[in-house]
Amino acid sequence: MYILGIETSCDETAVAILRISPLGRVKVLSNVVSSQIEIHQKYGGVVPEIAAREHVLHIIPVVHESLLKAGLKPSQIRAIAVTVGPGLVTSLLSGVETAKALAYAWKKPLVPVNHIEGHIYANFIDLKKPVKFPAIVLTVSGGHTNLVLLKGHLKYQIVGETRDDAAGEAFDKGAKMMDIGYPGGPIVSQYAASAQASEIKLPRPMINSVGFDFSFSGLKTALLYTLKKDSNWKKQIPEYCFELQEAIVETLVSKTIKAAKKYQVKTVLLSGGVSANKRLREALQKAVLDKLPGVAFGMPNLAYTTDNAAMIAMAGYYRFHAKKTVVWNKIKMDCNLELR
């Protein structure tokens, strides 16, 4: 079957088409993303009103380009999957209204998809081996940091989440404090790669706490006061970036391994925009290999880590087969949608 996915939860206008065989083999026929990063860089973060206007301008051309790249006609599409939340309400509106219009015009069923669910299912696009359940999934992005127990397809239990700021937010705000640019994650990672070590010390928030929740607001505060006390910090930006990244990665990895042990999982998965971070990918993979004998590890191809529509189409495929579809005028958008 052919399934079309639409993702507009924040500042990426994305449309993708997947071909999935009766045996479950996946081929990404198109995965078009119109990025707004350059537009929002001057503001140091996403401006919702600007993001919404850009979505309106680009959504139809991106749909058209995705169909052209896939070499398909609308009549060949079996279903349309679309992100309905969580996200920026005005951004979500662009994608959902477009999906409704296409579903009505093309007479196709709609599949509502949770954005976090999409990130989780990015792991299923390029599968080499079937995922064994139960699995623990570390989902890390600019707006979310969750540990999800995946008991089976579409069966979620959140066992840990951030109590305040997400890990991606800590990267962004840390980069802003050091005035090195936006988005913070890739820039901090680049600077950190040029430092072999650091004498600077930042806390590992809640790393030894009971349970699996996260908190990164205190880490941002610690970085701010450390910078204020250091008159020469501008000469040590690589070292500060190194320590900031290490503090985030060590906390994420430690909590994930503890959760994997408690729930006796068979697989550990990584997902979300921050899963593109090379240090996190390497550290979590090594920790699973060293501390969880017999447990498999998986992470998405880099192309499917940041917001994209291929992951929405992938999640939509499983929801479609679970008969979780709606007609065009029954779909509901929720900017605070919970994973369930």
- Give 156-221 as a DSSP string: EEEEEEBSS--HHHHHHHHHHHTT--SSHHHHHHHHHHT-S--S-----TTTTSSSS-B--HHHHH
Residue numbers belonging to the annotated binding site for Fe cation: 115, 119, 307
Residue numbers belonging to the annotated binding site for substrate: 139-143, 172, 185, 277
CA distance 320 to 109: 9
Beta strand 79-85 pairing with 145-152 = unpaired
**Backbone φ and ψ of 63, nearest 5°:** -60, -45
Total count of residues recorded for the chain:
340
Cβ-in-10-Å burial (0-12, 13-18, 19+) of 154 comes to: middle
CA distance 134 to 124: 15
Residue numbers belonging to the annotated binding site: 115, 119, 139-143, 172, 185, 277, 307
Sign of the dihedral defined by the CA atoms of residues 242, 246, 248, 252, in that order: positive
